[in-house]
């Protein structure tokens, strides 16, 4: 590998290290928030005067429209699932960083690179599953904590539908990354045969 490629990989490793540290800090903060909301039920009496649902922000005159008992159950759970998702991102970045380090020191066609790529595919699969669970929980959260009879006039709004959109493109991406690990493993075998021939 030439010096220009090594310098580029070193810069990439530096950026990945910073992003990984930000993920670790975010993970710790969100776990702390989850524990804070789980064990401090009084905070729900003063904290929520508005809720944002995608592009819509609802600002409440009082707390009658909110079901705070359900909120105290769902919010720590959603924060915990978010922390798990961030931890999976952290592990994915750590794996990419390991791939870059191995590639800098040796060749990309190394068994360790193939194993790390396979591990990355598993992290992508796990991250996609956790992301979809988070989406379902988010919809259920809003469905259960809001008192829709108070929010909307029943003369004009007869039904409210919540659509749960599952994102499944991560399955294709994880499968492609998994196949890429076999390409790298095959490349390593070819390189080993070439070295033995020489």
CB 95 within 8 A of CB 116: yes
Q: What is the pLDDT of residue 122?
A: 94
pLDDT (tens digit, 9 = 90+) per residue, 146-167?
A: 777 767 777 777 777 777 777 8
To the nearest 10°, report the CA torsion of 29, 35, 37, 42.
-130
CB 27 within 8 A of CB 86: yes
* pTM for the model: 0.81
Write down the domain spans for the chain: 3-197
d(CA 122, CA 52): 33
């Amino acid at each position: 590998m030439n010096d220009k490629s090594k310098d580029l990989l070193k810069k990439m490793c530096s950026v990945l290290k910073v992003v990984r540290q930000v993920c670790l800090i975010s993970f710790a903060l969100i776990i702390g928030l989850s524990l804070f909301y789980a064990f401090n039920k009084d905070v729900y009496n003063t904290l929520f005067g508005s809720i944002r649902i995608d592009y819509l922000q609802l600002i409440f005159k009082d707390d009658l429209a909110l079901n705070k008992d359900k909120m105290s159950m769902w919010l720590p759970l959603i924060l915990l699932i978010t922390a798990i998702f961030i931890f999976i991102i952290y592990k994915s970045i750590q794996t990419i960083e390991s791939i870059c380090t191995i590639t800098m020191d040796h060749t990309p066609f190394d068994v360790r690179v193939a194993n790390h790529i396979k591990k990355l595919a598993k992290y992508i699969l796990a991250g996609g599953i956790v992301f979809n669970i988070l989406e379902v929980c988010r919809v259920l959260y809003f469905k259960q904590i809001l008192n829709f009879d108070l929010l909307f006039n029943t003369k004009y709004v007869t039904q409210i539908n919540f659509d749960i959109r599952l994102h499944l493109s991560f399955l294709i991406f994880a499968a492609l990354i998994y196949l890429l690990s076999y390409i790298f493993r095959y490349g390593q075998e070819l390189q080993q045969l070439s070295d033995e021939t020489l």
